[in-house]
Amino acid sequence: MFFLKFSLYFSVSFFILSIPIQDHTLYQVIDQYSRPYTSQIFSILKTKTKETIEESKKVGRQLYENSSPSIKDSINETQSSTKKVSRKTKPINKPMHESFTVEEEEILKKVLNNAP
């Protein structure tokens, strides 16, 4: 349906613009009067398009330049840890079960006896 409508409208428009007026077609007469305005409109569009493209290139370049840090990250070797120092733990002099009170031992025995 769309193609049919398009073909019909195109044919009618072509026929209307082809009507001869004083040894010229209607299209040529319209073009003669509208040429100064259309050329001015197109020149304005051309300059605005160039300005927009240059501005977008500038913004894109700034985004790209800001994407990576400009200062190289480095580690100060006097403050970095290059060697692992193992910590020695204090030896346990006394086993854990000897430090419980009598009441705590009784509770632990009850809990362990009731465990499945």
Measured CA to CA, the distance from residue 80 to residue 22 in angstroms comes to 92
> How would residue 27 be classed by pLDDT, with cut points 50, 70 and 90?
very high
Residue 104: inside a domain: no
Residue 107: inside a domain: no
Average pLDDT of span 13-25: 91
Q: What are phi and psi of 28, to 5 degrees?
A: -65, -35
Domain with 41, as residue range(s), is 36-68
Report whether pLDDT(84) > 60. Answer: no
Q: How many domains does the chain have?
A: 1
Residue 28: inside a domain: no
Report whether pLDDT(61) > 70. Answer: yes
Percent of the chain past pLDDT 70, that is, above it, reads 74
**What angle, rounded to 10 degrees, do the helices at 26-65 and 2-17 form?**
120
Structure tokens at 69: 């840090």
CA distances from 45 to 7, 37, 38, 85, 111 (A): 30, 12, 10, 71, 89
Start-to-end CA span in the chain (Å): 83
> What's the mean pLDDT when you consider all of the chain?
83
Measured CA to CA, the distance from residue 3 to residue 15 in angstroms comes to 18
> How would residue 110 be classed by pLDDT, with cut points 50, 70 and 90?
confident
